[in-house]
A and B are shown apart, each in its own frame.
Chain A
Amino acid sequence: MTLDVYVSIFMTVVIAATPILIAALGELVVEKSGVLNLGVEGMMLCGAVAGFSIATTTGATSGGYLAGAAAGAALSMVFALLVLSLSANQVATGLALTIFGTGVSSLTGRPFVGKTVQRLGPLFPHPLSDHPLLRALFGYDAIVYLSLVLTVAVAWFLAASRPGLVLRAVGEGDAAAHAIGHPVIRVRYAAIAFGGALAGLAGAYYSLAVTPMWADRLTAGRGWIALALVVFAAWRPWRLLAGAYLFGAVMTLELQSKAAGVGFVPPEFLAMLPYLATVVVLTLIALRGAGGQRAPACLGKAFRAGG
């Protein structure tokens, strides 16, 4: 294989990892606030269809990304209303959100089947973005770099900012946070909206960049991979970044090794690796217990002031 092929494989890995990273970052913030939103797949699909429809009707691909994020955030507010204001069960509501999002995207996407849209061009100028070697670093659209910036921003926000501290407090001990005067419900609303916007953005990346088209169930379960990734990363942004690229690499290498006909590892084994790794990490977390490795203490529990 030539160097060119390695560069091309590397770029495929980055493209595969980017939307998973974005969706998982959003979910990480949501879960850090103590809420489990299993509706990532549904929000991604709505983001995908909203992004694609806006991009094809207006011709502005960047507008499509904004619309995707807005659609994801809007759908997440339905979830937030149910689980925060009405204290509905988070697991059931999240699953319902995925089913609902799948249906809504299928219905609204019907007129857009069989169309395509112009991708966003590379962010960096011509000599860098199509250099045979440097394109591995500079050959991507703005969303890829945005995903990296978002990782830094989320890591900083959670670790070093005051609102991030409040968010974590709400996720670890909602009653205590409430007692010292933090608005638990409002913080969670904001976290869910952020998670929804990122899920929508990730979905739009599928319909506008990975496969620039709309077809029913376009994301084909990537939302669930994003959810697994949050657990895999033990709720840490930097590990999330590594995990997303690992998942992307495994998904790509599975296909590449099959296409090359090399059989040192059965491709079926590679295909199950991300899930196997998640199970292993979960087991390790359960064995080790405390020490910052565990899930936010209030994850999935409803909060009632004074309750």
Chain B
Amino acid sequence: MTIAFDRRRFLAATAGAASLPLLGRALQAADPLKVGFIYVGPIGDFGWTHAHEMARQKMQSELGDAVKTSYVENVPEGPDAERVLRQLAQGGNKLIFATSFGFMNAAVKAAKQFPKVKFEHATGYKRGPNLATYNARFYHGRAVCGTIAGMMSKSGVGGYLASFPIPEVVMGINTFTLAAQKVNPKFKVRVLWLSTWYDPAKEADGAKALLDQGCDIISQHTDSPAALQACQERGAFGFGQASDMSSVAPKAQLTAIMDNWAPYYTMRAKEAIAGTWKTGNTWWGLKEGLTQMAPYGAMVPDNVRKAADATKNAIIAGTLNPITGPVKDNKGVERLKPGVGITDAELEKMDWYVEGVQS
């Protein structure tokens, strides 16, 4: 964005109609809010980071000249993140999004050093006067996937490629399993821990290992579409993660849980511009559109689509908490009494697996 461009727009706006609101907007355009993003992975990962980058672009195009965004990709979680956050703050960014759990401590430190800069940390739990947290209820989507898996699995065993046993991943496994068991009470889930968020060859081999062990539907909490490709090669089904991955594995993807951060980013940037930005913790899901489902694959029959839609709509309407008692963990301990829905606080520190999960 060059100065000449701004001036032309400014002149056009004032010449067109010299009314005050328009003048105000034009002035604002000359001095946009600088918004910075740091990403843990490459924007071409077609998963987690890709989704944040898409949302940044969407926000930029929606707010136009009111914001000026930039990003730094491949930032390792750790001390380096703090350096990058400081650089962004010193570079004049007034609103900075740190988009990975491991940036938490770096964000806390940077927020203390730059009290006038507003920081936002994704999926974390440490907050401050100028440090907000935000997350999406991906487990909402897991419930929809679970419904589909329970109805479409012939072996009654689902495979789950998991990264690390953090609450975010654990709640996904549990929600998926419970939703599938609602349809098929004997449904079991084999969890395979890969100890990585992103390693395509390992994800593909992991999916093959699960298929070899009798699973016929693969769910994943890792970032690349490699597992879906392995499913397609073997004639099995799976679910996409973070993005619609049907272009890579059209015959395997039943649906995908898509991250859509754009509504949140746009709202927060608008608030920062208007001066109404406040710290807090935002946890949006299917209802607010932060979590979205990709279109069903052609192989999903009508009755399954209806059941999946019913799960989705009940969550959106607020009539269904996907984790509701009676729930026992896989060691036989009762965790939720009949009719009791899980609370957000319990979800955020979840470290147990429901009955039927083998990990």
Contact = CB atoms under 8 A, between A and B. Distances in A.
Given A259-B192, A261-B190, A113 B46 contact: yes
Interface stretch (B25-33, B121-129, B198-206): B198-206
B69 to A, nearest CB: 18
A213 B250 CA distance: 13
Residue among B205, B247, B248, B249 with most chain A CB within 10 A: B205
Interface in A190-217: 206, 210-217
B212 A8 contact: yes
A260 interface: yes
B213 interface: yes
B189 to A, nearest CB: 12
A90 interface: no
Given A9-B212, A261-B358, A110 B44 contact: yes
A256 B200 contact: no
A216 B205 contact: no
Interface stretch (B15-23, B141-149, B222-230, B307-315): B222-230
B192 A258 contact: yes
B205 A12 contact: yes
A258 B349 CA distance: 25
Contacts of A1: 212
A114 B46 contact: yes
B169 to A, nearest CB: 15
B256 to A, nearest CB: 12
A215 B202 CA distance: 14
A272 B173 CA distance: 27
Contacts of B229: 116, 211-213
A106 interface: yes
B217 interface: no
Interface residues of B, number: 40
A114 B198 contact: no
A213 B11 CA distance: 48
B50 interface: yes
Contacts of A5: 212-213
Contacts of A260: 209, 213
Interface string B42-62: 111110001000000000000
B200 A255 contact: no
B208 interface: yes
B151 to A, nearest CB: 23
Contact of B44 (A113, A221, A222, A259): A113
A289 B41 CA distance: 43
Chain A interface category by residue count = 35 or more
Contacts of A12: 205, 208-209
A273 to B, nearest CB: 15
Interface string A1-36: 100010011001000100000000000000000000
A206 B199 CA distance: 11
B60 to A, nearest CB: 17
B67 interface: no
B150 interface: no
B102 to A, nearest CB: 17
B210 interface: yes
A107 B193 CA distance: 31
A265 interface: no
B248 A116 contact: yes
Nearest to A19: B201
Interface string A293-307: 000000000000000
A251 interface: yes
Contacts of B172: none
B159 interface: yes
Contacts of A251: 202, 205
Contact of A211 (B41, B201, B210): B201
A166 B170 CA distance: 59
A231 interface: no
B329 to A, nearest CB: 17
Contact of B226 (A16, A115, A213, A216): A213
Contacts of A212: 229
B209 A210 contact: no
A115 B200 contact: no
A218 interface: yes
Given A8-B212, A9-B212, A116-B248, A218 B200 contact: yes
A220 to B, nearest CB: 4
A41 to B, nearest CB: 13
A256 B209 CA distance: 5
Given A210-B201, A251-B205, 9 more contacts: A5-B212, A12-B209, A114-B243, A215-B46, A215-B200, A220-B201, A255-B208, A259-B192, A260-B209
Shortest beta-carbon contacts, A-B, top 8:
A216-B42, A259-B209, A216-B44, A211-B226, A255-B209, A220-B199, A211-B200, A113-B44
